[in-house]
Amino acid sequence: MARWWSGGKLFSRGDRRSRMLTLALVLLLVALLAPPINLPRPTYDYVLVFDITQSMNVADYDLDGAPISRLDYARQAARTAMRELPCGSRIGWGAFAEYRTLLLLAPIEVCANYNDLLASLDQIDGRMRWGNASEINKGLFWAMRAAKEVGHDTQIAFLSDGQEAPPLNSVGLTLFDDLKRGELHGWIVGVGGTVAQPIPKIDRDGKPAGFWRAEDVVQGNRDSANAGAERNQEHLSGLREAHLKAMAEQVGFEYARLTDVASLGKALFDARFAVRHATPTDLSWLPASIALLILVFTFRPDLRPRRKRKVVTINKSGYAA
């Protein structure tokens, strides 16, 4: 049996392999039993507020080759972003209709509550709408109030197409007295295409009832924030990007446009919005990886070329040939 010299002592190849296997076993037990360790890491705390007014039913997005409404596309973007959120981050849901934003779910930790967050997100649709008006400027202010009440560095992502109904007669509304520009941070995310399209009409039972007509809605001259858009076309809906940008500037938010399902995540994960928190971190992969390397090294095949043995034959006279 081959023997090895180490530290002034001889030990066999079998002893060496046994020790390596024992070390690998100990490392695997550490990986299995060691608790998570609190380590500081960047996390994100958001309340995502979805505009659920009827203009968000316009299907001017495309997903997997099929048309999809603005609201459904915004929810799909939220699902995509949530998969990328680091553990320790918190997310909550809000809904805007009429002139108010209601907090549907206060922010909760993503990894521990992932399935619950997905299930609750699926329930956010136009059926919970409590009015047909769409005073978005006020809805943003109410969202800021909700975030202030939650606290803990909570930020806002307000997803809307920007269509005010009835239309504003001025650039915007005065900020509520209990709010200050810049005290909260977040995003206004523009949802929808730039080409104005008919707005689907939904009845009280949540069933399609044609489209809104010009005589069905309040018309009016567009304000300067919506300059360039046609007048008296409030029954049609396209992204009111200028208005949303003006709102973002008013409250000190950033603006982004939802161009694809990944664009929401790109905005949310901006480093300026990260907060470092001590978060339970699973490091079991480290000892498990070392154990795997030990096992690979221990049982690696011997690829060294073998020496050819010299064959010696003895002739009849007794001499080697």
pLDDT digits (tens, 9 = 90+) for 22-62: 888 888 887 787 777 676 678 999 999 999 999 999 999 99
Residues 24 and 144 in one domain: no
Residues 204 and 290 in one domain: no
Residues 188 and 259 in one domain: yes
Distances 90 to 106, 206, 238 between C-alpha atoms, Å: 9, 31, 32
pLDDT higher than 90, residue 3:
no
pLDDT higher than 50, residue 222:
no
Digit-coded pLDDT (tens) for 149-181 = 988 789 999 999 999 988 887 666 788 888 999
The mean-pLDDT minimum among 119-123, 183-187, 208-212 falls in 208-212
- Looking at per-residue confidence, does 98 or 204 come out higher? 98
Selection from 92, 181, 194, 71 nearest residue 134 by Cα: 71
pLDDT, position 307: 63
- Identity of the amino acid at 114: Y
Residues 99 and 18 in one domain: no
Q: CA–CA separation, 276 vs 283, rounded Å? A: 18
Q: What are phi and psi of 52, to 5 degrees?
A: -110, 20
- Residue 29 lies in domain: 3-34+283-298
Q: pLDDT over 70 for what percent of the chain?
A: 82
Q: How many domains does the chain have?
A: 2
Check which CATH number belongs to the domain holding 69 and give it.
Answer: 3.40.50.410
pLDDT, position 292: 86
Q: What are phi and psi of 22, to 5 degrees?
A: -65, -45
**What mean pLDDT is reported for the chain?**
84
Question: Is 315 a domain residue?
Answer: no
Residues 142 and 289 in one domain: no
Residues 180 and 289 in one domain: no
Residues 198 and 212 in one domain: yes
Beta partners for 189? 159, 256
Residues 27 and 175 in one domain: no
Selection from 271, 240, 245 nearest residue 256 by Cα: 245
pLDDT higher than 50, residue 228:
no
